[in-house]
Amino acid sequence: MPDFAKCMPDFAKYMLEFYKYLEMGLQNFEEYQACTITVGVVRDICRALEEKILPYCDGIMTQLLKNFSINQLHRSVKSPNISCFGDISLAIGEQFEKYLAYAMPILKSAAEVSTHAFLN
C-alpha cells in the first residue's frame, strides 16, 4: 500500500476546512477541467473516508445535482459526476437512499442518451 493511502483515513480531521475548497471546485463549472478534477478528488476522498464523508454528502450531492441543471456545464464533467454518485453510495451505504429520488432521473437520462448513441 502506498504511503499516501495509509494516511487518507486520517484526512477526516481536515475535511471541515478542506470542504470549502471542494465546494468551490464543484461550483466552478466555467473552468470545467477544475470541476472535473474536483469531482475526482471527491471520489478519492469517498473511497478513503467511507462513512466519515457522510457529514459533507448533503453539500456535495446538492452541488453535483445542481451541475446537471447548468446548460453551460461542459459535457466532459457529466460522466465523472455520475461516477461520483456511485462512490458516494459505496461510501455511505444505505444512507444514500435519501439521494435516490434526485439521482435516479439523472441516471435514467444518462442511460437513455447512451442507448441512443449506441443505436445510432
pLDDT tens track for 26-38 = 999 889 899 999 9
Name the helix (H) or strand (E) containing 28. Answer: none
Q: Closest by alpha carbon to 78, among 105, 39, 28?
A: 39
Q: What are phi and psi of 70, to 5 degrees?
A: -95, 110
Length of the chain: 120
At 1, the pLDDT band (50, 70, 90 cuts) reads very low
The CA-atom distances, in angstroms, between 45 and each of 11, 111, 113 are 8, 26, 29
pLDDT at res. 110 = 81
Whole-number Å distance between alpha carbons of 38 and 113:
24
**119/59: higher pLDDT:** 59
pTM for the structure as a whole: 0.84
pLDDT at res. 11 = 85
- The DSSP secondary structure of 57-83, one letter per residue, reads HHHHHHHHHHHTT-TTS-HHHHHHHHH
The CA-based dihedral angle spanning residues 42, 57, 82, 74, taken in that order and rounded to the nearest 10 degrees: -70
| 8-22 residue pLDDT tens | 667 888 999 999 999
